[in-house]
Amino acid sequence: MVGAPRFRFAPSPTGFFHVGGARTALYNWALAKRTGGTFVLRIEDTDEARNQPEWTQGIIDALEWIGISRNDPTFEGPYFQSQYANEHVAAAERLHAAGHAYYCDLTPDQIQERAKQSGKPGYDGYSRDRGLGPGPGRVLRFRVPEGVTVVNDLVRGRVEFQNETIEDFVLLRGNGSPMFLLANVIDDVSMRVSHVVRAEEHLPNTPKQQLLWEALGHEPPVWAHVPVLVNEQRKKLSKRRDKVALEQYRAEGYLASAMINYLMTLGWAPQGETEIVPWSKIQDEFRLEDVNHSPAFFDLKKLAAFNGEYIRAMSLDDFITACQPWLTGTDVPWTAAQYRPEIFRALAELVQTRIVTLSEVPQLVDFMFLDAPLVDETSWSKTFGSADGVAMLRSGRDALVSCDWNAEALKSAVEAAGSNLGLKLGKAQAPIRVAVTGRTVGPPLFEALELLGRDAVMKRLDAALAKLG
């Protein structure tokens, strides 16, 4: 390897951008940044029916979100694999000319039939020495040499493959188009990639690709296969079964910083007593050699905990800014005219310690903006199912009608009304809370009442009393 290292991230645009892909990208990014190398983004969009152009933009946006910006000098690309098909085919022809590959006219069915008869699975090398030329329906296969292929992997160490267990894989399809193994290697060669850091599922491909590098006359890159991310069943995270779309987490109010930090600690840990660390520390310390070897469970609870930590660590202004999309978006329960930024600002600090994702913000403050609270039936029946609750509501209403209007005075008034009924403050505030906010839980009550104002509060207390008969 000469010069600065060149890493690459090569996703295929076949769906929403996956958290596993995000972690792989982040690993590559951290390495490229620390070593003064380059991060090459290559979209592997080779003629696959599943590819959709919008997914490509999704990848770029998602990378941007987690700090992998195409405007950063470390970033190179995106390149699109489909644009290099000619090079892939030319390389395949060179391989053929040099005797490293040969054409075969067997159909998949015929191959299967032969495998069945011989009792050995896979392609048996039937056309190796038939000297076929190219033609419609004929695939080009790589002639796997005899011997042993040793893959030196930065994460796994030395991995040995007996070449006889590697079948003569397809380079060019019957229609002449290049296959993944070939295209991937050719692009890595021409983009001068020095380090291939990818998920473990590619490890079985690696001896084939290494053989290709060698047949092409190049020194193979440094390989590193990081463990896959798994679900609670310990199966590889899948788009079908699991919630894996990075975009979805973003939409639910996860912070990029929390997501980045969490993803980096799956399979690796920074030095010290805490895993919550700034990106700069991650970038300084991350080493492939330190990556764990076993699959890592993508734990929503831990992600949530990280997110809560990051939310609480924000300055008040940053927090308020971050909340904007959840306050002024199209799916909030109040109208734009009802929303009062100064009210939210006054309450923001109390909201900040009570949420794990930003999407939980509206339910904590909706009663401040709506004319009448959204009543949670469970809260209502639990609170007013007893005579105590109703009595307290009545007595609380009478106390609030004339007291001073600030949080301290409101608290005292409710406390006094409660003690007359033999209720402690915890019990006494509940009926007021439900009548005013619609729920048994929420931000500290008296601060909210103060902000809401006497008129609005009395209106709600009276409405609740009327409803109770």
Partner RNA sequence: GCCCCCAUCGUCUAGUGGCCUAGGACACCACCCUUUCAAGGUGGCGGCACGGGUUCGAAUCCCGUUGGGGGUGCCA
Which residues, numbered 367-386, are part of the site for RNA (CB under 7 A)? none
Per DSSP, the three-state class of 379 is: helix
Task: Fill in the amino acid letter for 362.
Answer: P
Q: Indicate if the alpha-carbon torsion angle 87, 92, 93, 97 is positive or negative.
A: positive
For RNA, the binding residue among 154, 222, 245, 269 (CB under 7 A) is: 269
Q: Using the 8-state DSSP alphabet, how is residue 272 labeled?
A: S
Asked if 175 is part of the footprint of RNA (rule: CB under 7 A), the reply reads yes
Query: Which of residues 24 and 184 has its CB atom nearest to RNA in the complex?
Result: 184
Tokens (6 digits) for 409: 């005075």
Binding mask 122-141 vs RNA (x if CB under 7 A, - otherwise)? xx-------------x-x--
Marked catalytic residue, from 239, 243, 281, 424 = 239
Give, as ranges, the residues between 9 and 68 that touch RNA (CB under 7 A): 12, 44, 46-48, 50
For RNA, the binding residue among 411, 431, 436, 464 (CB under 7 A) is: 411
Longest dimension (CA), the chain: 102
Burial class of residue 198 in the structure, from the number of CB atoms within 10 Å of its CB (0-12 exposed, 13-18 middle, 19+ buried): buried
Which among 158-166, 240-248, 369-377, 386-394 is the span making contact with RNA, rule CB under 7 A? 158-166
**Backbone angles phi and psi of 170, in degrees to 5:** -80, 135
CA–CA dist 343, 86 (Å, integer):
62
Asked if 79 is part of the footprint of RNA (rule: CB under 7 A), the reply reads no
State the nearest-atom distance from the C-beta of 469 to RNA, in Å. Answer: 25
Which among 213-221, 251-259, 339-347, 434-442 is the span making contact with RNA, rule CB under 7 A? 434-442
* CA atoms within a 13 Å half-sphere pointing along the CA-CB vector of 366: 20
Which among 59-67, 93-101, 120-128, 452-460 is the span making contact with RNA, rule CB under 7 A? 120-128
Asked if 266 is part of the footprint of RNA (rule: CB under 7 A), the reply reads yes
Scanning 295-360, the segments in alpha helix (DSSP H) are 300-313, 316-328, 341-352
239 counts as catalytic: yes
CB 435 within 8 A of CB 374: no
Asked if 430 is part of the footprint of RNA (rule: CB under 7 A), the reply reads yes
CA–CA dist 377, 466 (Å, integer):
16
CB 31 within 8 A of CB 221: no
Tokens (6 digits) for 252: 């639910």
Asked if 296 is part of the footprint of RNA (rule: CB under 7 A), the reply reads yes
State the nearest-atom distance from the C-beta of 159 to RNA, in Å. Answer: 4
Which among 252-260, 332-340, 445-453, 456-464 is the span making contact with RNA, rule CB under 7 A? 445-453
**Backbone angles phi and psi of 172, in degrees to 5:** -125, 135
Asked if 360 is part of the footprint of RNA (rule: CB under 7 A), the reply reads no
CB 365 within 8 A of CB 347: yes
Query: Which of residues 328 and 378 has its CB atom nearest to RNA in the complex?
Result: 378
CA–CA dist 203, 378 (Å, integer):
53
Asked if 165 is part of the footprint of RNA (rule: CB under 7 A), the reply reads yes
Query: Which of residues 74 and 407 has its CB atom nearest to RNA in the complex?
Result: 407
For RNA, the binding residue among 94, 236, 250, 382 (CB under 7 A) is: 236
For RNA, the binding residue among 71, 86, 117, 233 (CB under 7 A) is: 233
Tokens (6 digits) for 161: 């493959």
Which among 88-96, 118-126, 330-338, 370-378 is the span making contact with RNA, rule CB under 7 A? 118-126
Tokens (6 digits) for 227: 């463990």
State the nearest-atom distance from the C-beta of 32 to RNA, in Å. Answer: 21
Catalytic center residues: 239
